[in-house]
Amino acid sequence: MLIYDLFKMALRSLIANTMRTFLTALGMIIGVASVISMISIGEGARQQTLSTISKFGTNIITVKPGRKKTRHVSSDSVQTLLLSDADAIEEHVSLIIGAAAQVYRPAQLKFGNKNTNTTVRGTGRKYAKLANFTLDSGRYFTKEEIISARRVAVIGATVVKNLFPDINPIGQELKVDGNNYLVIGITEAKGALSWYDPDDQIFIPVTTAQKRLFGMSYVQSIDIQADKIEDLEQIKKEIDTFLRIRHGIREGEESDFHVQNSSQWLNSWGDAAKTFTYLLGGIAGISLLVGGIGIMNIMLVSITERTREIGIRIAIGAKKSEIMEQFLIESVLISFIGGGIGIMLGILISRTVSEIGGWETIVSTQSILLAFGFSVAVGIFFGFYPARKAANLNPIDALRYE
Amino acid sequence: MGQLYLNLSSESVMIEVKELSKTYQLGKVDVHAMVDVTFRIDAGEFVAVMGPSGSGKSTLMNLLGCLDLPSSGSYFLEKFDIRSLSPNQLAEVRNKRIGFVFQNFNLLPRASALENVELPLLYGRIQNSHQIARDSLERVGLADRAMHRPNELSGGERQRVAIARAIVNNPAIVLADEPTGNLDTRTGDEIMNVFSSLNDEGATIILVTHERDVASRARRIIQMKDGRMHQDILNEGLIA
């Protein structure tokens, strides 16, 4: 028998039991739709996280102060890095574009009768470039303003929204912990992560922050930008060696600082998000499996019902393989139909989620192929046993079956 | 035993069975459904197999129809030693060389008359199956009912469709198992007329029945009793 005729026959028997076919396919529809929508939600979350994180720059090495232990006496851990360390690194370490020290603290801002709590970040000139901030309007502070520790500020988009909803903030003076600061620039909005809004901060010269605002002599971190990502490891080593010598740390002694790399952070975040996606997809995959069991169940019922038909077919010359093919095609067809509708439903769900929930979702061709391929495989796998059972029926008994 | 072809005394031998036996095992008990049956049927014969229930007629039909294999003995259908064939070859023999007609018609309920008749052609991968099936329906006088489903046909019409299906591949033999058992006398007569005219056209027909009237339409009657062949007689009334 030609495959075309087998398809026609399978389709006919599926149509003859429309309701049953639909309910059986529903298992597959739900399975495929949930796999596709779950993966798209996971993928969307991953891409969004990664793209937001990469806005901070991926070729950045961060030096943070660490605990220094001398003869079992711990000294205060956070005061080991100085502004001069940043300058020295910039001057002496090769393969880098620049280094910027920073200090930061939450502070209260006031303008007119409005106030807000935000992070005040004291940085050098290079920080904006290092942290991938671009200016929306105005300017960044000059070298001269840093040296003379002027009270000037570049503010983030969220701060603009909170304090200056109606007027252009540039040229206005806002109060930081009671002191007036001149707004000279606004950074372009980056968009918030769920746990961190990079636009909710203001930048002031690091010297101003140290001397006038926070009263501290040390810095909280130094960011170094590499020229090329490939050089990151070498630069890390160089900084480590350089700072150990500069801080007079002897061999075998623990460093009083840590050198970190933001791309490591990015990778581990990416991995975590990927695991999350797999987890979602895996849970959804279970429903596919349940759908497959539904197919097997209904195929077994169908074969019992059609025992006599199978007997007739064998009597008029159907080979075992042809009986088997007929029922396999039926089960695959159910999963095929279920898979097809499931894909459409899955896309619909992920669109709805991104529209209503405001989440980004990404329906990848890969996830569609995966879900569809898996559903057809489920159809074959769960259709195989019933089909073989049909093919092995004894024609004499089958013909007598009432 | 190993020989595939039998040296036939006559070119016209259709079926040759020798000491054919079938034993079923029911638990630990051996049931001898058929014991040492030997006969020969030539092309163009019209044979009725008679006997009370349990006499082994159904077993004989299943064996002749290649739905079952004998426990011992030999069965040659048109020179082929049935016992030497593979399951797929047996399927092909059932498809092309044997036509079945059953008591309860055994049509596919969801397919039209034409599609039911066409089915053996599809399994045989025969071209132009539509036209051949239509011709076959015409032979049994049902061309105008081709598109009807079995539940839209009368019992007699259903059996005609079944006969059209049985003969669509021009088989060597037509095996009919109580073909009139579910029909009233008049319709049964009509069906027997169809068999008679097919036989006149040259078809070899083997018919199982327990009705004397039906058997009387055949030219030869084989009587079964307790799994053995009891009598093999020519139907004098018809011949004479």
pLDDT digits 0-9 by tens, A132-150: 788 888 899 888 898 899 9
Closest residue of A to B65, CA-based? A315
Name every chain A residue with its beta carbon within 8 A of the beta carbon of B119.
313, 316
Looking at the complex, report in whole angstroms how far the Cα of residue A398 sits from the nearest Cα belonging to chain B: 11
B-chain residues near A3 (CB < 8 A): none
Domain count of the fold of chain B = 1
Distance separating alpha carbons of residues A37 and B237, to the nearest angstrom: 80
**Residue B237 pLDDT:** 60
Instruction: Give the pLDDT score at A384.
Output: 94
The candidate with the shortest Cα–Cα distance to A163, out of A108, A91, A238, is: A108
Distance CA A259, CA A362 (A): 35
Q: How far is B104 from chain A (nearest CA, A)?
A: 10
Please name the residue that has the structure tokens 């159907």: A318
Q: What is the DSSP letter of A357?
A: I
Task: Kindly state whether residue B34 falls inside one of the protein's structural domains.
Answer: no
The DSSP result for A294-321, as a single string, is: HHHHHHHHHHHHTHHHHHHHHHTT--HH
With contacts defined as CB-CB under 8 Å, which chain A residues touch B165?
316
Is residue A380 a contact partner of residue A324, using CB atoms and an 8 Å limit? Answer: no
Distance, in Å, from the CA atom of A221 to the CA atom of A209, rounded to the nearest integer, reads 14
B37 within domain boundaries: no
Taking CA atoms, A115 is separated from A103, A160, A186, A202, in Å, by 22, 11, 18, 14
Q: Is any Cβ of chain B less than 8 angstroms from the Cβ of A316?
A: yes
Look at residue B128 and tell me if it is in a domain: yes
Task: Yes or no: say if A96 and A62 are a contact pair by the CB < 8 Å rule.
Answer: no
Runs of H (alpha helix) within A168-306: 206-208, 232-246, 262-305
**Closest residue by Cα to residue B105 from B176, B40, B55, B167:** B176
Q: What is the ipTM of this complex?
A: 0.90
pLDDT computed for residue B65 by the predictor: 93
- Asked if the Cβ–Cβ distance from A317 to B92 is below 8 Å, we say yes
Helix (H), strand (E) at residue A116: strand A114-123
- Cβ(A57)–Cβ(A130) below 8 Å: yes
Residue type, A296: M
> For residue B5, is pLDDT > 50?
no
Interface of B with A in 36-75 (CB under 8 A): 62, 65, 67-68
3-state secondary structure of A4: helix
Buried residues in B93-102 as b, exposed as e (16+ CB within 10 A): bbbbbbbbbb
State percent of chain B over pLDDT 70: 93
- Please give, one letter per residue, the 3-state secondary structure of chain B: CCCCCCCCCCCCEEEEEEEEEEEEEECCEEEEEEEEEEEEEECCCEEEEECCCCCCHHHHHHHHCCCCCCCEEEEEECCEEHHHCCHHHHHHHHHHCEEEECCCCCCCCCCCHHHHHHHHHHHCCCCCHHHHHHHHHHHCCCHHHCCCCHHHCCHHHHHHHHHHHHHCCCCCEEEEECCCCCCCHHHHHHHHHHHHHHHHCCCEEEEECCCHHHHCCCCEEEEEECCEEEEEEECHHHHC
Size of interface A-B (CB pairs under 8 A): 61
Tell me the CATH number at B107: 3.40.50.300
In chain A, which residues have pLDDT < 70?
A: 1, 52-58, 67-78, 193-195, 262-266
Structure tokens at A353: 């989620």
Closest CA to A131 of A262, A260, A257, A237: A262
Cβ distance A13 to B110 less than 8 Å, yes or no, reads yes
Which of B87, B111, B123 is the closest to A316 by Cβ? Answer: B123
Pair A179, A110: CB distance under 8 Å: no
The conformation of residue A5, written as its DSSP 8-state character, comes to H
Do A319 and B87 lie within an 8 Å CB cutoff?
A: yes
Q: A interface mutation test: which of B105, B115, B123, B151 has the most A CBs within 10 A?
A: B123
Indicate whether B222 belongs to any domain.
yes
Per-residue tokens: A15: 């149509």
Closest CA to A213 of A160, A162, A175, A159: A175
DSSP A213: I
Whole-number pLDDT of residue A278: 86
**What does the pLDDT look like over B107-155, one tens digit per residue?**
998 899 999 999 999 999 888 999 999 999 999 999 999 999 999 999 9
Q: Are A371 and A289 in contact (CB under 8 A)?
A: no
Contact B169, B121 (CB under 8 A): yes
* Amino acid B1: pLDDT: 38
A308 shares contact with chain B (CB less than 8 Å): yes
Tell me the angle at which helices A262-305 and A365-391 cross, rounded to the nearest 10 degrees: 30
B96 close to A (CB below 8 A): yes
Residue B3 has pLDDT above 50, yes or no: no
φ/ψ of A263, rounded to 5, equals -70, -25
Helix (H) or strand (E) holding A92: helix A83-92
Put simply, the answer to whether A315 touches B94 (Cβ < 8 Å) is yes
The neighbour count for residue A366, using CB atoms within 10 Å, is 10
The whole-number average pLDDT for the span B187-193 is: 92
* Chain-chain contact of B122 with A2 (C-beta, under 8 angstroms): yes
Range of the domain at B234: 43-68+86-239
Three-state secondary structure along A16-67?
HCHHHHHHHHHHHHHHHHHHHHHHHHHHHHHHHHHHHHHCCCCCEEEEEECC
Question: Do A156 and A120 contact (CB within 8 A), yes or no?
Answer: no
Put simply, whether A8 touches B (Cβ < 8 Å) is no
**CB B94 to CB A316 under 8 A?**
yes
Shortest alpha-carbon distance between residue A35 and chain B (Å): 36
